[in-house]
Amino acid sequence: MKAQGNTILITGGGSGIGRGLAEALHRQGNQVVIAGRRSSLLKETAEANPGMRFFSLDIEDPSAIRGLAIQVAAEFPALNVLVNNAGIMRTENLLADPVDLDDAEAMVRTNLLGPIRLTAALLPLLRSQPSATIMNVSSGLAFVPLALTPVYSATKAALHSYTCSLRYQLKDSAVEVLELIPPYVQTDLMDGAEDPRAIPLTKFIAETMELLNAEPAPAEICVKSVHGLRYATENGRFDAVFRGLNDSFAKS
């Protein structure tokens, strides 16, 4: 992915990691378009970054996704980068009787079906460009799950798997497929903005941009603080890392 001159769509771009990426890519000289549910945050972000554009999007709604794809293609025909970042994270008690599946189903629709549907809707446009990038934002929890958030962790594991398959199917095309694998970052997701265990958002974005600007960018964008989760299995440490992670959150 080239550093500048791109036209980039970022879902969930009004806050957290999405806003951090949007602003960093905007500063580098890219046309950035953000989309998400909360119009007030999108407007605030766009107004703070002159030239940035925004669209409202309910990522759970297939018809809204198709509508956004049509609108983006019409207004930004040079779109060549899609960042599937929108996501929700909720705790679940699997021992509840009865189990309330509303949160689980919302996470599947948002975190997994949303990126799959938006990628499918925009892939013809992306494939028509001389070069293009799809970057899916998964999580370190795709590799070592947090038991408090079982479905969130599962959706991110599924998104990792989907990304690997998408990359392989597009290997002979001009579309590169990247995966951004965040650690625990200080954002409003799961009320982690003030948690000292989480990496500061500004530090995460700076390290991420350094990796993204490398030539070539690695297929998996992993800052150092997520290596313990990402490579736990390869390093033969899955059980120890899983236990340590979950014991830490069980005590908090």
The DSSP element (H or E) to which 133 belongs, if any, is strand 132-137
Q: Two tokens at 129?
A: 């460009």
| Distance of alpha carbon 236 from alpha carbon 245, whole angstroms | 16
- DSSP 8-state assignment for residue 121: H
Report yes or no: 85 and 10 within 8 Å, Cβ to Cβ. yes
- DSSP 8-state assignment for residue 225: G
| Distance of alpha carbon 120 from alpha carbon 114, whole angstroms | 10
152 is catalytic: yes
Report yes or no: 88 and 107 within 8 Å, Cβ to Cβ. yes
169: CB partners within 8 A, 6+ apart? none
Active-site option among 152, 162, 168, 231: 152
Give the helix, strand, coil percentages of the chain, each rounded to 5: 50, 15, 40
Amino acid at the residue 97: D
Amino acid at the residue 121: A
Phi, psi of 7 (to 5 degrees): -115, 115
Catalytic amino acids? Answer: 152
